[in-house]
Amino acid sequence: MLTFCLAACKKDHAPTAAKTAVEETTTAGKKLKTQSTSSAYYIKAHETHNFVYGNLLTTYNSYKVNTTTQTTTAYEWYNISQIYADAEMVKIGNSAYLPYMNNTYTWMNNMWNGASPTGGYFAAANVNGTGAAGDKYTDDNALTGVAYLDAYDVTTGTTKTNYLNSAKACANWLMNSGQWDATYGGGFWWNTIKESKPTQTNGLALQLFLRLYQITGQTFYKDWANSVKDWLINNMRDATTGLYIWKIDGPGAGTKHTEKFTYDNAIMVEAFLLYAQIIADNTFVTKAQNLGVSMNTTLWNSTYHVYIFNTTDGRINPAWCVWGSQAMIKLYQRDGNTAWLDYAQQNIDYMNTKLRNTTNLGYYHFCNFDGSNVETRQEGVDQAWMQRTQGMLSDYR
């Protein structure tokens, strides 16, 4: 009886996809553009959220890792990716996503290390909020700050202030936790184990510092951004391909892993575009464009029209591969070249054709280039990134 009631209540209260007006007023009183249902990508973004709502959202306002093997655990970056996705839906005009975003933000307090003077989010907890402990990840905390700033952009009043303060707290942990040190001339460690310094960790930190500098005008954020940017360019860029490598191994090793990942380079495209906008250095528009071209030369599978996971792994994943679509959309937003949108759209179309369950409308975790060997786990982070990028694309296609 209880199970039936919960399922029925969820169905009744899920956001509706119908959007026809030019604008609407959110519960915070802010005017936002409304997206038309004529976009198939908007509809799919909404359907993806309904899958998340019905299968992954808990009564505590956290999200399960997946629908099968990890149903009592919540991961920081999975929860944050869903906040990021819901913020995009609010941005394009559906205020029904605000409560999901805000309720999960409140739940995230359970993962914050309040016992430490520098704070920081733990990587995992039980879905009821207990048990948060252990390692912390710099990329998770940086992405959390970035997602909070997207939420900051679509809220007002005390809620808006809270999101900004939480993003600042994430940056404070990055700056004061010892995750940046002189090993290899600088750079952030991936986690508190300090086993490697990856591109994506530093690229996300760069994004967070840039955006906080833009909002607050505090020059120490700009100084941090410049340090991270210089370290990335000097240590992680492969001149032969024009792409950024995976990582440098931990102390005593110093081995560079030269595999190229789609999401690493997508993050760097976004970071360079932010740098150009916020620091007013248009040479970084060119850097972003050149990096986008390099992605489409090396990381694009021209047979199946999809971004590869990385240069040594013949599989496709919705979250890590579709990050490439976000970067292409952001390039289009900057220079208006519709070729970027074509890549973004074809990449998303692949996910919808090869990795979408046609019955429950959720996405599977991995498949081979040709769509074979599907790994049928339905991970929360994959749903979040498909919702977010299809929401973004729906503004244009």
Residue 128 per-residue DSSP state: T
Question: 321: number of CA atoms within 13 Å, CB side?
Answer: 34
Task: State the DSSP H helix or E strand holding residue 126, giving kind and residue range, or none if neither.
Answer: strand 124-126
pLDDT of residue 36: 56
Beta strands in 23-120 (DSSP E): 23-25, 31-33, 73-75
Q: What is the pTM of this model?
A: 0.92
The 8-class DSSP code of residue 95 comes to G
CA distance 379 to 376: 9
Q: What is the structure's pLDDT at 252? A: 81
Backbone angles phi, psi at 129, to 5 degrees: 95, -10
Per-residue pLDDT at 25: 38
120 Rama class: left (phi>0) / alpha (psi -120 to 50) / beta:
left
> Does the domain formed by 2-393 have CATH 1.10.10.10?
no
Q: Are strands 256-257 and 247-249 parallel, antiparallel or unpaired?
A: antiparallel
Kindly give the parts of the chain with pLDDT less than 50: 1-13, 18-33
Using alpha carbons, list the distances in angstroms from residue 260 to 194, 197, 296, 319, 326: 21, 14, 12, 16, 17
The three-state secondary structure class of 270 is helix
Of 395, 387, 260, 269, the residue nearest 328 (C-alpha): 269
pLDDT for the residue numbered 253: 83
> Residue 10 burial (CB < 10 Å; 0-12/13-18/19+)?
middle
